[in-house]
Structure 1
Amino acid sequence: MAEFDYAQAISDARAKYESIAKALDTDRLTQQVKELEEEAAKPGLWDDPENAQKVTSRLSAAQSQLKRLNGAQRRIDDVETLVELGREMEDADSLAEAKTEVESIAQELDDMEIQTLLDGEYDERSAVVTIRSGAGGVDAADFAQMLLRMYLRYCEREGFKAKVMDTSYAEEAGIKSATFQVDAPYAYGRLSVEGGTHRLVRISPFDNQGRRQTSFAAVEVVPLVEATDHIDIPDTDIRVDTYCSSGPGGQGVNTTYSAVRITHLPTGIVVTMQDERSQIQNRAAAMAVLQSRLLVLRHEEEAKKKKELAGDIKASWGDQMRSYVLHPYQMVKDLRTGYETSQTQAVFDGDIDGFIEAGIRWRHEQRRQAEQDQD
């Protein structure tokens, strides 16, 4: 076994740190923290709770980012000193400790590097995620509910605030669809790589003969619209229907016509909302989701025009982006990035960081390649 090269490992860590610090612009980040702290200290901040929540959330994220950057720099300096002392004292334990720390720093820098790749137009925003069951009958509805739980558990692990806004339950088991909002800086940038068709292969728990079943579910991720987006929706372009909220039963089911379904007539986009107690609140939430989807649609149309001008750019995500195989073997594999794991239960429990980070790197490389092809 080759001897561990401390000098090279520390040099690599320092070079990566400098690259990350340059990309994130520590001076800009420091100034941003200062400005947000001043805004958060204003006496009337909480007169507008929604804006106050955004300010404090952005401040917390910027402070955390700056703390991680400064902490990584200190750790690199400290481990370099530890290696020097270990060699002078010929202390094997200190060198072993330094090796572990260098490897830990490398992992930390890899995680921080992901942040520098979230540079899309809407990556910084909160996200609205919709899951729909596809082909596969009751198994597909059950799979959709498994995915909903997976993403909510992921948000819980990451400390992201997630709120289920609408759920349409299937008759036998599972869900037909569900929409939830994730409020966290860069939630859209991270979760947008999850958009696409997901496939599950397993022995169906709903089949009396125990046959293997393949089922599908679609995941849609859109950025949360902001007041500055200017998505005008004339009243003549929408149809609003109201109905009683539905659910699996119990006191949580509404008996009033508070649920709202909005149909955007020009595009056929349909948004339903039943989480809030009043019809007014559900209508406002549904309009926000509709605006988000129209924003993405507009962005896609603009990108399509650019693609037509640039020629054929092979950067398609494809319809099926990930397979979850529970029989005859255990494997979850992303078909775009090649990232895979046999820890299927951990994945369904929300351990999807590896898939998301691999997806972000893959997307960044696709964008870079597309830019090169245009040049």
Structure 2
Amino acid sequence: MAETDFPTAIRDLRNTLRRITEVTDVEKLKAKIVELSDMAVAPDLWDDQANAQKVTSQLSHAQTELERLERLETRIDDVEMMVEMAKEEGDDEVLADATAEVASIHKALESLEIVTLLSGEYDEYDAVMTIRSGAGGVDAADFAEMLLRMYTRWAERRGWNVKVLDTSYAEEAGLKSATIEINAPYAFGTLSVEAGTHRLVRISPFDNQGRRQTSFAAVEIIPLLEDTESVDIDENDLKIDVFRSSGPGGQSVNTTDSAVRITHLPTGTVVSMQNEKSQIQNRAAAMRVLQARLLVLKKAEESAEKKALAGDIKASWGDQIRSYVLHPYQMVKDLRTEHEVGNTQSVLDGDLDGFIDTGIRWRNETAAEDD
């Protein structure tokens, strides 16, 4: 970067940070930290473990968000000072370091700026993700398990809490379905662009003739509702089954009937939970997810949009949003944004920020064009 670009670049960084700070509402964030800090030191906090975990998690995320904004402001101040000193001393090496730091700050701000684009009704909520194997037999079940690992690693890289709510294993390998809860501010808004059908092309490790196989998996994202935002459910509309939790290959991993399956008869919506320790806990978790899914259906009916929120996901040809090609070449490509990456292993290991950020920008641009 030429010397004359530094003042412009630094001014742009400050403007971007200011926009992010305004949207974040730092004063409100600080007040929230004070309130949560007071709650966190209450002597009876852990009498209700679920609420205690929610409070401590929200406090941690709020503190991290504030620290990140303050750290970026400090970095911009530091790089401005670095440039001034380097120019005074004619130190080209320090100027090169400053150039690299400006680029690094710009990248950090770009990622942070994505949050400012999340303004949907439920975008700031936690998320529940369900991954289901689709067409492709055992390869599809294996692909579903690969996606579960990919999203779990992506969330963990961000320091987001991931909780497995339910896993239904396929007979030979992989998963029929899995449901996870992801706790973080704007988890739903961030991940909602991942909803849709994902397609895998590779040489099947389950084909003794080594043939290429195409398989599909569906990803559904719904917001995890607050207790105050719920759909009234008539107990008479529910069919509740209890059964034993099972492991890979159908093996029993629980000797008691602690797993719960709830069917909402009017809509046919089915929710299963088996990863909590007791039937009561699994039932409570299943009801929360059922509430969220029924709200999605309600919103879709109200807006008359077939693919509102979670969408209508078939997990088959003609419906895919992203392709993961491992043979005859290596590429992951999003079919909506055209964003593509050649390092497929990196993506499957959780390097998804490029796809998600591009997807959020694409969604906002598309919405603006439709208005």
Q: What TM-score comes out, normalization by structure 1 length?
A: 0.91
Q: Which moved more, 1:115-124 or 1:246-255?
A: 246-255
Name the SS of the counterpart of 1:292 in structure 2.
helix
Q: For the Cα contact (< 8 Å) 1:161–1:182, is it kept in 2?
A: yes
Q: Which residue of 2 aligns with 1:355?
A: 355
**Partner SS, residue 248 of structure 2:** coil
What CA distance in whole angstroms lies between the structure 2 residues aligned with 1:229 and 1:78?
Answer: 45
Structure 1 segments unaligned to the other structure (5+ residues): 308-314
User: 1:263, CA displacement in angstroms?
Assistant: 0.8
CA deviation string 1:82-127 (max 9, x = no partner): 1111111111122112111111111111111012122221122211
Residues 16 and 109, structure 1, Cα contact 8 Å, conserved in 2: yes
Between stretches 214-223 and 13-22, larger displacement belongs to 13-22
Partner AA of 2:183 in structure 1: D
In structure 2, give the amino acid aligned to 1:235. E
| Contact 1:57/1:185, CA 8 A, preserved across alignment | no
Matched, 1:185 2:185: yes
Following the alignment from structure 1 to structure 2, what is the Cα–Cα distance between the partners of residues 204 and 98?
48
Tell me, in whole angstroms, the C-alpha distance in 1 between the residues paired with 2:249 and 2:325: 32
Q: Distance in 2 between matches of 1:127 and 1:208?
A: 39
What value does the CA root-mean-square deviation take over the aligned residues?
Answer: 2.4
- SS of the equivalent of 1:227 reads coil
Give the equivalent residue in structure 1 for 2:149. 149
Q: Residues 1-40 of structure 1: matches in 2 within 5 Å?
A: 5-40=5-40
AA matched with 1:101: E
Rounded Cα–Cα distance in structure 1 between residues aligned with 2:216 and 2:366? 26
Pair 251,210 (structure 1): closer, same or farther in 2 beyond 3 Å = closer
Change (3 A) 1:278 1:40: closer
Give the structure 2 partner of residue 43 of structure 1.
43
How much has 1:363 moved relative to structure 2?
Answer: 2.0
1:61 equivalenced with 2:61 (yes/no):
yes
Q: Distance in 2 between matches of 1:305 and 1:5?
A: 47
* 2:289 alignment partner, SS class: helix
What secondary structure does 1:164 align onto?
strand
| Aligned-partner residue type, residue 134 of structure 1 | G
Q: Report the alpha carbon displacement of residue 244 of structure 1 after superposing the two structures with TM.
A: 2.1
> Which residue does 2:254 correspond to in 1?
254
The alignment status of 1:263 with 2:263, answered yes or no, reads: yes
Shift of the 188–299 alpha-carbon distance from structure 1 to 2, 3 Å rule, reads same
Residue-by-residue CA offset, 1:223-272 (whole Å, 9 max, x unaligned)? 11221113211111111112222212799711222221111111111111
Match of 1:312 in 2: none
Query: Hey, which bits of structure 1, 4+ residues long, moved more than 4 A?
Result: 1-4, 249-252, 315-318
Number of aligned positions between the proteins: 364
Aligned-pair identity in percent equals 63
Corresponding position: 1:294 with 2:312: no
Contact kept in structure 1, 2:165 and 2:181, CA below 8 Å: yes
Query: In the TM superposition, what whole-angstrom CA distance separates every residue of 1:153-205 from its partner, at most 9, and x where no partner exists?
Result: 11222222112121111111111111111122222122221111000011111
Which stretch shifts more, 339-348 or 272-281? 272-281
Which stretch of the first structure deviates more once superposed, 148-157 or 41-50?
41-50
Shift of 1:293: 0.6
Matches within 5 A, 1:195-344: 195-248=195-248, 253-304=253-304, 319-344=319-344
Name the counterpart of 2:168: 168
Partner SS, residue 246 of structure 1: coil
The equivalent of 1:310 in structure 2 is: none
TM-score computed with the length of structure 2 as normaliser: 0.92
Q: What SS does the corresponding residue of 1:185 show, helix, strand or coil?
A: coil
2:90 is aligned with 1:90: yes
On the 8 A contact 2:223/2:292 being kept in 1, the answer is yes
Distance 2:276 2:58 in 1: 26
Please report how far the alpha carbon of residue 303 of structure 1 lies from its aligned counterpart in structure 2 after TM superposition: 2.7
CA change 1:305–1:328 in 2 (3 A) is closer
> Structure 1, residues 313-368: CA drift from partner, whole Å, max 9, x if none?
xx999831110001111000111111110110111111111111112222222333
Q: Secondary structure at the match of 2:149?
A: helix
CA distance in structure 2 between the aligned counterparts of 1:365 and 1:203, rounded to whole angstroms: 37
| TM-aligned CA distance change 1:351 to 1:89, over 3 Å | same
Residue 228 of structure 2: SS of its match in structure 1? helix
**Deviation at residue 52 of structure 1 after TM alignment:** 2.1
The amino acid of 2:334's aligned partner reads: D
Query: Which consecutive unaligned segments of at least 5 residues does structure 2 have?
Result: none
Q: For 2:306 and 2:201, how far apart are their aligned partners in 1? A: 38
Letter in 1 for 2:48: D
- Structure 1 residue 2: Cα displacement: 6.2
